[in-house]
Amino acid sequence: MEKIQQEKANLKYQLQNTMERKSSRKRKINKLVTILCIICVGLAIVPLGSILFEVIKNGVSALSVEFLTQRPGSMISGRGGIGPAIQGTLITVGIASIIAAPVGIFAGIYLAEFAGNGPLPHAVRFFNDVLTGLPSIVLGIVGYIVIVLVIGSFSVWAGSFALSIIMIPIVVRVTEESLKVVPNSIREAGYSLGIPKWKITLHITLKTAFSGVLTGIVIGISRIAGETAPLIMTILGTSLFFTGFDDPVDALPLRIWRLASQPYDSAHAQGWAAALILILIVLLFSVTLRLLAARKGFKVRVIRYSNV
């Protein structure tokens, strides 16, 4: 009797032992994977930290009012500034978004409010996604062939056209998605008052989804503001201030590229400073607009229409 009990205890002990060993190995692997994941996060954050650190460290020293407003001087002396580049970026990106925002919003409205599941909306969605994935340099070539060759000069128009092709699909997609989350009851409230569909769409649905649409536009703008490749063959770059829409202009990314390919330290310092300005424009712009959109929120505003 005692023997059996002892054997039982022995077995139990053995079983426990193997299970524990197994589970401790399981736990070790689990821990290892967790650590690997944390390392992955670190691998992504280190470059970001280093980029921001270097841009600020190297960029701040070259910053001055003169640098921001003047034309580029001789590369060796480190004189002059990036005035034309800032101006050119604002103009080119501004025109591109004036083209892209309405087109993108209306196409998004078509997809969300008017299109069903027919072949045409499918085609629009599909090719819109295809457009989003196209390399920007190819769009630069298109801008060159369609506009530069036709009007015979590198120009603001060509650059803005190429950039607008990058921005449109982003705005379309985000507009469609944010219109789709607007609850149907809001539209129905409009219909019940006999408001025509175009008014409902523009004044009620779009307004409700406004912060989403705005986010799309902001994403689009911050994306195209940093584009370099399509500008090479469309606006060309120059050291002069804006002279006309049919002429070449400068842009910040292009100017950074030029400065970085110079062999002089002073040019590199200017390049870092220009990069700082570019990052500030892109980040500050998107952060402030996002905050603004968040504060306004997705609040439903139909009060104004109660007495249409």
Partner 1 sequence: MNSATLKDDHQERRKKLSNLLLSKKKPMDRAFFGIVLGAAGYTLFLVALIVYAVGDGSTEIFSYEGLEFFTGTDWNAVYGREAFGALPYIIGTLVTAGIAMVIGVPVSIGIAVFLSEISPPRISTPLSFVIELLAAVPSIVYGLWALFVFRFWIVDLIEKPLYNAFGDWIPFFGKTPFGLDVFTAGIVLSIMIIPIISAISRELLKAVPDTQREAAYSLGATRWETLRIAVFPYVKSGLFGAAFLGLGRAVGETILVTMVIGNAVGVNAIPTSLFSQSQTLASVIANEFNEAASSLHLSALIGLGVVLLMLTMAINIGGMLLLSRMVKVSPGVRE
**Nearest distance from residue 181's CB to partner 1, in Å?**
12
Give the footprint of partner 1 on residues 240-269 (CB under 8 A).
253, 256-257, 260, 268
Q: Which of residues 128-167 bind partner 1 (CB under 8 A)?
A: 128-139, 141-142, 144-146, 165
The Cα 218–Cα 100 span in angstroms is 12
| 157 CB-near residues (< 8 Å, 6+ apart) | 95, 147, 151, 245, 246
**d(Cα 85, Cα 275) in Å, to the nearest integer?**
11
Distance of closest approach, residue 288 Cβ to partner 1, in angstroms:
13
Q: Which stretch binds partner 1 (CB under 8 A): 39-47, 66-74, 75-83, 296-304?
A: 39-47
Specify the stretch interacting with partner 1 by CB under 8 A; choose among 3-11, 66-74, 230-238, 299-307: 230-238
Residue 71 binds partner 1, judged by CB under 8 A? no
Of 4 and 118, which CB lies nearer to partner 1 in the complex structure? Answer: 118
Q: Is residue 197 at the binding interface for partner 1, with CB under 8 A as the rule?
A: yes
The SS3 assignment for 1 reads coil
> Does 187 interact with partner 1 (rule: CB under 8 A)?
no
Nearer to partner 1, 86 or 142 (CB): 142
- DSSP structural state of residue 118: S
Torsion of CA 22, 24, 30, 33, to 10 degrees: -100
DSSP 249: B
Contact with partner 1 (CB under 8 A): which of 74, 127, 151, 294?
A: 127
Shortest reach from residue 94's CB to partner 1, in Å: 17
List, in order, residues 6 or more apart from 10 with CB less than 8 Å away. none
- Tell which positions 92-111 bind partner 1, by CB under 8 A: 102-107, 109-111
Binding flag, residue 273, partner 1 (CB under 8 A): no
Is residue 90 at the binding interface for partner 1, with CB under 8 A as the rule? no
Q: In angstroms, rounded to a whole number, what is the distance separating the alpha carbons of residues 149 and 143?
A: 9
Which amino acid belongs to residue 206? L
270, 82 Cβ separation under 8 angstroms: yes
Q: Note whether 113 binds partner 1 by CB under 8 A.
A: yes
Backbone angles phi, psi at 249, to 5 degrees: -130, 175
Min dist. Cβ of residue 272 to partner 1 (A): 7
Confirm or reject binding of residue 67 to partner 1 (CB under 8 A).
no
215: which 2 tokens? Answer: 């986010």
Q: Which residue, 170, 186, 195, 177, is CA-closest to 109?
A: 177
Rule CB under 8 A: is residue 275 a binding residue for partner 1? yes
Question: Is there binding between residue 4 and partner 1 (CB under 8 A)?
Answer: no
- Taking the complex as a whole, how short is the minimal distance between the CB of residue 74 and partner 1, in angstroms? 21
If one asks whether residue 118 binds partner 1 (CB under 8 A), the answer comes out as no
By CB under 8 A, residue 72 contacts partner 1: no
Structure tokens of 48?
């970001």
Query: Measured between alpha carbons, how far is 234 from 226 in angstroms, rounded to an integer?
Result: 15
